[in-house]
Amino acid sequence: MIVPFSHVLVLSGILFVLGVFCAVARRNLIMIILGIEIMLNAAAIAFIGASLRRQDLDGQTFVLFILAVAATEVSVGLAIIVYAFRRTGSFDPGNFNLMK
């Protein structure tokens, strides 16, 4: 592996922190979902780096599952956002108490 494993972990950590900041600080549901996607991609980078360091395919298998979960999360999340936007006319998460 050309890139040191510590650099991969630092990149993954930075991306994860940016994703957490995006998910917590924003008041827009689309940006919250984008932050969650960034966190999932950071975990995928860490798994790929660990997989390359250990010379096995376990981490890459986990990444396939992470990508599948991310795709379903986006599709279901966007469907709920579209439904809620049609009901309230806003992307503010504070207005979405209609689905009780």
Structure tokens at 81: 């956002």
pLDDT band at 97 (very low <50, low <70, confident <90, very high): low
Q: Indicate which CATH number applies to the domain containing 26.
A: 1.10.287.3510
Task: Give the pLDDT of residue 35.
Answer: 92
Which residue is listed with tokens 């660990």? 50
Domain membership of residue 59 (yes or no) is yes
- Tell me the pLDDT tens digit for each residue of 84-96: 888 878 777 777 6
pLDDT band at 99 (very low <50, low <70, confident <90, very high): low
Domain membership of residue 98 (yes or no) is no
Closest by CA to 94, choosing from 34, 37, 35, 29, is 29
Number of folded domains in the chain? 1
Structural domain boundaries, residue 66: 5-90
Closest by CA to 34, choosing from 77, 69, 65, 66, is 77
Q: What is the distance between the terminal CA atoms of the chain, rounded to a whole angstrom?
A: 50
